[in-house]
């Protein structure tokens, strides 16, 4: 008898457009979320959009509370849970970049209440995913969490965000190419569960984004629109897979390791982009597709070198040679690559 079962959990509504932030009360009512909302945000996104979201909810007499978090950590998740319990929150509204959204997503999952995702930047593909990403000591967890019931992506706010946040989101998408290569490799060598649908969606998302690279320019709402759709699509791929595998391979391990070795120097998306140049080289060698990955990043103004990231050559080599240790996820890095191999990859690709 066929006994396999799986749940593909997806948002019910994705509301995208100019000024939609001010309609958040209507959006929430449409999916029948009830009780007191807790708006979870971080300092800059609070100024840019969090207060506006709170005001829209307050004007609709929904009596919102506000929690401000600073970093992606399990402590922040617990802090939000405590604040939600203190105000008896009926649902959580995450307003911000990837970190604020991850914290709100994981806190609402643990509380068993609904979650609304309000991205203020197109900087990451966690906008709709059913995952949270949290560093802890020497490791980096990919935590399963219910995806948002609704996403409210205001293209006006997102287009006004610093341009590098948008290029980071594009690079997070471009890294899907190598993530899927790693996933297929792990399936072949380690029998890791693999979904052809999720892999195809993830790759197609990267392809469509790269094809539209010319139209992705600073300050344009149309650009914000194109990038957010790609981020949504990539998040859906993760939901279909019930894993971050379609969007996270060795290039992400490299980035997570850089976060430990050189914290706060570069954006997540930019790091995974440079990681993808390196790991594409490791997959396919000198005459492989690494130039195509680099050129795709270049075409949307994303970093392609250690200098662009603001990290030292030594930090790149250390991250690349130790990245396999950060998580039990089989990739092209296998059980680790030598310093010579890392140097060759980084020098040949011009990363250092
Ligand atoms: N859960 C997932 O599936 C998933 C997917 C991708 C990334 N992530 C995680 O998300 C994080 C990366 O996301 P990120 O790059 O957005 O990081 P982030 O949340 O730290 O945001 C980056 C910076 O942008 C600022 N910012 C956000 N919106 C702004 C705006 N409109 N104007 C000005 N500044 C603004 C933030 O205050 C912050 O300083 C990482 O922790 C990564 O692991 C998770
Ligand atoms: O599971 P991780 O490696 O945190 O990846 C999630 C996300 O960054 C994919 O773009
Ligand atoms: Zn990512």
Alpha carbons 100 and 217: distance in angstroms, whole number: 25
Measured in Å, residue 158 CA sits from the centre of ligand 1 at 12
| 268 assigned to a ligand binding site | yes
The pLDDT value given to residue 4: 77
User: Measured at the alpha carbon of residue 309, what is the angle toward residues 303 and 312, in degrees to the nearest 5?
Assistant: 135
What separation in Å is there between the alpha carbon of 143 and the centre of ligand 2?
10
Query: What letters, b where the CB count within 10 A reaches 16 and e where it falls short, cover 21-40?
Result: bebbbebbeebebeeebbbb
**Alpha-carbon separation of residue 351 from 213, 222, 274, 317 (angstroms):** 22, 31, 7, 10
Q: What is the number of the ligand 1 atom nearest to the C-alpha of 269? A: 15
Question: Is the beta carbon of 172 within 6 A of some atom in ligand 2?
Answer: yes
pLDDT along the chain (352 residues), means of 10: 82 97 96 97 96 96 96 96 98 98 97 98 96 94 95 98 98 98 98 97 98 94 97 97 97 98 97 98 92 97 98 98 97 98 98 98
Enter the tokens of residue 319: 């991250």
Domain annotation for the chain: domains and CATH numbers: 13-160 (3.40.50.1970), 163-348 (1.20.1090.10)
Ligand nearest to the CA of 246: 2
Query: What is the C-alpha to C-alpha distance for residues 85 and 163, in angstroms, rounded to an integer?
Result: 37
pLDDT given for residue 291 in this prediction: 97
Residue length, the chain?
Answer: 352
The DSSP letter of residue 72 is -
| Contacts for 188 with CB less than 8 Å, ≥ 6 apart | none
3-state helix vs strand vs coil in the chain, percent to 5: 55, 15, 30
For 66, 190, 288, 321, 331, the CA distances from 183, given in Å and listed in that order, are 39, 10, 18, 19, 7
User: Which of 105, 165, 176 has most ligand 1 atoms within 8 Å of its beta carbon, as the pocket-test mutant?
Assistant: 165
122 labeled part of a ligand binding site: yes
């Amino acid at each position: 008898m066929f006994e396999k079962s799986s749940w593909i959990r997806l948002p019910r509504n994705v509301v995208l457009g100019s000024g939609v932030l001010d309609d958040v009360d209507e959006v929430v009512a449409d999916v029948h979320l009830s009780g007191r909302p807790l708006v979870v945000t971080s300092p800059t996104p609070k100024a840019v959009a969090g207060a506006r979201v709170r005001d829209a909810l307050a004007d609709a007499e929904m009596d919102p509370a506000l929690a401000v978090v600073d970093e992606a950590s399990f402590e922040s998740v617990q802090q939000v849970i405590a604040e939600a319990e203190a105000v008896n929150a009926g649902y959580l509204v995450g307003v911000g970049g990837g970190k604020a959204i991850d914290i709100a997503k994981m806190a609402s999952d643990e509380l068993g209440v609904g979650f609304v995702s309000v991205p203020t930047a197109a900087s990451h593909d966690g906008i709709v995913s059913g995952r949270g990403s949290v560093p802890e000591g020497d490791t980096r967890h990919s935590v399963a969490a219910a995806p948002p019931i609704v996403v409210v992506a205001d293209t006006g706010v997102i287009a006004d965000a610093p341009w590098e946040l948008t290029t980071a989101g594009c690079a997070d998408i471009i890294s899907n190419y190598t993530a899927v290569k790693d996933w297929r490799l792990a399936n072949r060598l380690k029998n890791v569960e693999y979904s052809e649908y999720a892999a195809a969606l993830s790759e197609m998302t990267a392809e469509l984004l790269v094809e539209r690279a010319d139209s992705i320019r600073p300050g344009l709402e149309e650009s914000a629109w194109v990038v957010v759709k790609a981020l949504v699509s990539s998040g859906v791929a993760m939901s279909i897979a019930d894993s971050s595998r379609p969007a996270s391979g060795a290039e992400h391990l490299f980035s997570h390791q850089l976060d430990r070795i050189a914290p706060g120097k570069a954006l997540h998306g930019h790091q995974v982009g440079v990681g993808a140049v390196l790991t594409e080289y490791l997959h396919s060698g000198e005459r492989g597709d690494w130039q195509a990955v680099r050129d795709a990043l270049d075409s949307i103004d994303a970093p392609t070198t250690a200098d662009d990231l603001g990290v030292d050559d030594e930090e790149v080599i250390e991250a690349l040679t130790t990245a396999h240790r950060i998580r039990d996820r089989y990739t092209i890095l296998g059980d680790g690559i030598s310093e010579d191999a890392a140097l060759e990859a980084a020098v040949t690709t011009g990363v250092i």
